Structure 1
Amino acid sequence: MPAPPPKLELLDLHGLTVDFSPDHIAKTKADFFASTGQRCSAFDVCVAKTWQSRTRALRLAGGAFADGDSPVHVCFFANTRHLMLAGAGAGFYGNCFYPVTVTCGSREVAAGEVLDVVRAVRNAKAKLAGDVARWAVGGFAQDPYELRFTYDSLFVSDWTRLGFLEADYGWGPPAHVVPFSYHPFMAVAVIGAPPAPKVGARVMTMCVEEAHLPEFREQMNAFASPAGK
């Protein structure tokens, strides 16, 4: 018998949009390579910095996350076309993805360097092939990727390759594209791109309550500003 649907707690979430410069993203990628000998993507950097900024805001602005080391989660969806179809998917244009969840202590995410958070994201992605193989043969007694609709979780969606900014309906490409609606029980960040000729990444969020918004804005802007790091 399937489990009952999750109880959804409605959240009073507020929006924030921040542009990350290509220079800061490139510097973080270069620092990560120098530290680990491994490469990371702009997506990894954006996920890590947004998750860290949000976690710092939750801890510094008081409330349930101010003390102790509560677990925090970030969830995103990874492409598994190369794992699931294995060359047999010619002509298949539907979605083929698998949820990746990263869980760490709030103190670890908030206090560490952004490179440490990038490493946690990369480590979770590195397990993707093995996890998909286990899932395919029913190797999980309990679904470890059941979505958590709680304030300690952040959901990230990647819009960078959807082509929205290239769409022209007769009056030129759009200056800004955002989700039509956000669900008030899910803290969300959408990673896209700013309109041309600007380059870099645009992170559109609806993920913090009003009490945490000022600190979240400060943390995100610190990375986006010329002095950000």
Structure 2
Amino acid sequence: MGTACDHDTPPLLEDLKVTIQNSSMIFPSKEIERKSMFISNIDKVLTFDVETVHFFGANRDFPPHVVTEKLKSALEDALVVYEFLGGRLKISHESKRLEIDCSSEGAGFVVASSDYKLDQIGDLDYPNTAFAQLVYKNKNFLKEDDDPLCVVQVTSFKCGGFAIGISTSHTIFDGLSFKAFLDNIAAIAAKKPLAVTPCNDRHLLAARSPPRVTFPHPEMLKLNDLPNSHIFEASTEELHFKVFKLTSNDITKLKEEARNSIGADTTTRITGFNVITAHIWRCKALSCDDDSNPNKVSTILYAVDIRSRLEPPLPKSYTGNAVLTAYATATCRELEEWPFMRLVERVFEGATRMSNEYARSIIDWGEMNKGFPNGEVLVSSWWRLGFEEVEYPWGKPKYCCPVVYHRKDIILLFPPVDGGGDGVSIIVALPPKEMDKFYGLFNKFLGL
């Protein structure tokens, strides 16, 4: 069994000494028809940017300046394939809805360098907030108040390694469609056929007419019911930041604990994700129960891909956001006293609830209301997305991660660095006292 937690923060560089060499706009390599693109009710609430960094070791055949040229050319072709990528978000005069103006205004492209070698910047699987320097922030490339939907930065290191930092509006991609986008960039750069032919028709997730909300949706909170902050905002209180690690043996042990629980339901799928989520849930809920109220209700949220759950199913190549928030609830007493299998069952039931009709009901809820997911904690899994498996002409990444901002209500799952098997890294940010309790519970429930 591996170390459950990197409880001591490793030394981190706070400044990667990045210098911007050049910033410009890139445009589609062929003329594309200007049009307005409908976006779904799922897309329209995700108007924040997702920033990912993809690290690559040195390759003598592909030094950073060669990669930069190949990547730039591939992106220019991708702006044709993904006709919305060079566009801008705008409000339609007719429908008053947010949509994408496929205007070919372009994407941002930045070339930068760091004064460090790649092996000097610290553990790649310990997301350093300084990694934000590897993603370009200033988007006013050609005119003020411009906001490209995609900006790419290539940062070279002294060793010949480099990082590709990509910022995209969450409105245009979910994790699965972003992975397909990366596969296509790699294919274009290698002069190969597209890995996936993207399906850009977002009307497939349009609300029904008239909208029919056929289920209660406690996992959603109307905008006018929201407090001053919501789950997507960074916390202003002091937070400690830790990486907890589960090895494949740890995950197997959690599965065995679930199977051996009294009254285990054999119809429940005891997957790695389900047991990890259940384990995180009880640790998080019990660590923040300051008033020791055993009847306090805890709600955990987690994303479910609905592509295969709809009738008819969405194409796997659907480019928009096709994930919805599932939820599970239990009281703190139940989380502490129930057999582990009961918690796994609750997580499983939350995903099973996401039928075609339930998904359509949430989409229709979004047509009638403005609001956000509502829960104590959101588990955001990057564990199985496979960004590190993308085969570029210059090789696979050493590691991929989002730029992490400390949020106490969001827990992130990542694959381990350097092919660490089927284990998982769990990124947690909590106030100091809560972190100490979480740490103790995490190890206690693992039997450490």
Query: Aligning the two structures, in what range does the TM-score lie when normalised by the shorter sequence?
Result: 0.7 to 0.9
Paired with 1:13 and 1:182, the residues of 2 have a C-alpha distance of: 11
Shift of 1:215: 1.7
Q: Give the stretch that moved more between structures: 134-143 or 41-50.
A: 134-143
Paired with 2:365 and 2:336, the residues of 1 have a C-alpha distance of: 35
Corresponding residue number in structure 1 for 2:402: 179
Q: Give the stretch that moved more between structures: 121-130 or 18-27.
A: 18-27
Out of 56, 72, 78, the residue aligned to residue 298 of structure 2 is 72
Out of 282, 290, 310, the residue aligned to residue 52 of structure 1 is 282
Identity level (%): 17
Partner SS, residue 74 of structure 1: strand
CA contact (8 A) 2:259 2:341 kept: no
Corresponding residue number in structure 2 for 1:17: 243
Higher helix share: 1
Paired with 2:314 and 2:277, the residues of 1 have a C-alpha distance of: 31
Paired with 2:297 and 2:348, the residues of 1 have a C-alpha distance of: 18
Shift of 1:25: 1.7
Q: Which amino acid aligns with 1:131?
A: Y
Paired with 2:277 and 2:424, the residues of 1 have a C-alpha distance of: 12
RMSD: 3.3
Out of 293, 315, 326, the residue aligned to residue 89 of structure 1 is 315
Is residue 159 from structure 1 mapped to residue 382 from structure 2 by the alignment? yes
Corresponding residue number in structure 2 for 1:99: 325
Paired with 2:314 and 2:278, the residues of 1 have a C-alpha distance of: 34
Paired with 2:273 and 2:361, the residues of 1 have a C-alpha distance of: 26
Count of residue correspondences: 215
Paired with 2:367 and 2:339, the residues of 1 have a C-alpha distance of: 33
Q: Which amino acid aligns with 1:99?
A: T
Paired with 1:115 and 1:155, the residues of 2 have a C-alpha distance of: 20
Q: Provide closer, same or farther for how the CA distance between residues 183 and 194 of structure 1 changes in structure 2, counting only shifts above 3 A.
A: closer
Paired with 1:161 and 1:139, the residues of 2 have a C-alpha distance of: 28
Is residue 202 from structure 1 mapped to residue 432 from structure 2 by the alignment? no
TM-score, with normalisation over the residues of structure 2? 0.42
Corresponding residue number in structure 1 for 2:89: none
CA contact (8 A) 1:32 1:115 kept: yes
Q: Which amino acid aligns with 2:282?
A: Q
CA contact (8 A) 1:71 1:104 kept: yes
Shift of 1:171: 9.3
Corresponding residue number in structure 1 for 2:266: 37
CA contact (8 A) 1:100 1:124 kept: yes
TM-score, with normalisation over the residues of structure 1? 0.76
Shift of 1:37: 1.1
Paired with 1:210 and 1:102, the residues of 2 have a C-alpha distance of: 26
Q: Provide closer, same or farther for how the CA distance between residues 168 and 126 of structure 1 changes in structure 2, counting only shifts above 3 A.
A: closer
Paired with 2:258 and 2:322, the residues of 1 have a C-alpha distance of: 29
Unaligned runs of 5+ in 2: 1-221, 230-234
* Cα deviation 1:153-200 (Å, max 9, x = unaligned): 11111112333434689697436x54313254x511111221244223
CA contact (8 A) 2:223 2:372 kept: no
Partner SS, residue 123 of structure 1: helix
Q: Provide closer, same or farther for how the CA distance between residues 140 and 72 of structure 1 changes in structure 2, counting only shifts above 3 A.
A: farther
Q: Provide closer, same or farther for how the CA distance between residues 74 and 13 of structure 1 changes in structure 2, counting only shifts above 3 A.
A: farther
Q: Provide closer, same or farther for how the CA distance between residues 46 and 132 of structure 1 changes in structure 2, counting only shifts above 3 A.
A: same
Partner SS, residue 69 of structure 1: coil
Out of 408, 415, 427, the residue aligned to residue 193 of structure 1 is 415
* Cα deviation 1:97-151 (Å, max 9, x = unaligned): 11112121122113323222111111111211042243356699989x8423xxx
Partner SS, residue 298 of structure 2: strand
